[in-house]
Amino acid sequence: MTAGRILARARDKGEFSGAAWAYGTSAGPVGRDTLGTLRWDGAPVGDDTLWDLASLTKPIVGLAVMALVETGELTLDDTVVSHLPGYAGTDKASVTVFELLTHTSRIPGRQPLYRRCPTREDLLDALIRLPLRERPGVEYSSQGFMILGLVAESAAGVPLDQLVRERVTTPLGMDGTRFLLPEHDRARAAATEDCPWRGRIVQGTVHDENAEVLGGVAGHAGMFGTLDDLARLGRALCRGGDGVIAPRTLAVMTGTRTGGRALAWQGHEPHLSSGGDLLTASAYGHNGFTGTSLWVDPDLDFYAVLLTNRVHPSRASDGIARIRRTFHNAAVTRALA
């Protein structure tokens, strides 16, 4: 079954209203298409559709962080307090950039801070006061990436959205990928959840509630992007970074594995990975909660982008897990045929 047919069947089952996908090699795309609508009662998905990338924001921010490492503005052993003096005397003062990137900081993840923090200032204060886990280990932590974004801003001396634009998206020509969509662009974004907290269907503003409270710009979520932009990023990574970061820096970023985690990326694990069953041990990628993903396999010279709005109108379904796996199996088979 083709990748497109897999996604068409998933839409028929109500898993998402729309999808866009591309896969290929460093030489260019092998497969690319779109299907469905921006919302179940909306306009068709198009080439210019904007997708809420959710946690796929994390590795894009991670690339900006590694660019700062290359220029000496950061090191992986820098501590939080060395860039954020407000953390002095807290249990997170000695947490390092490396630990934030690899989700080994012991900062608890999946914390719905927005429920008790109505303002950005309230949420940032709650982050400072959030107790560390007692035992070391890997725990996926969006809260850690919120702090990483603040560290990166401090090191670079510019806001996070400007940093990502200058160090990643502009050099790669990803002109449609950004934080904070202008109001006139929101109608061409794929809708996400009918959100009980907001009391409406979210379209064109960030789905992640914590990122919403933070103003839409955060280290863990908030970016929107187009299919062609994400495919451009996939090809750049197949080419060793394409000038955003050096090949040796990308090798450190993606080859250093701690409990299956690379620096801002998830390593590929057979029989467990959303990247499917056919990628090699060198593969790395990341998912977004809204139904997005990017996977790259440098040994196979392969990338795959999958963009859906699987949380529309509800996050209740978990069907995306198998859809991702079967999609990637079909895509890599076709790309390398």
- Which residue in 287, 321, 292, 328 sits closest to 309, CA to CA? 292
112: preceding bond cis by omega (within 30 degrees): no
Residue 55 designated active-site? yes
Output phi, psi for 317, to 5 deg: -75, 140
Residues 82, 151: contact at Cβ < 8 Å? Answer: no
What's the 3-state SS for 262-298? CCCCEECCCCCCCCCCCCCCCCEEEEECCCEEEEEEC
Give the pairing type, strands 284-288 and 266-267: antiparallel
Residues 208, 110: contact at Cβ < 8 Å? Answer: no
Residues 50, 185: contact at Cβ < 8 Å? Answer: yes
Strands (DSSP E) contained in the chain are: 18-25, 28-36, 51-52, 178-179, 194-195, 200-201, 223-225, 266-267, 284-288, 292-297, 302-308
Catalytic member of 17, 55, 142, 293: 55
Mind telling me the catalytic residues?
A: 55
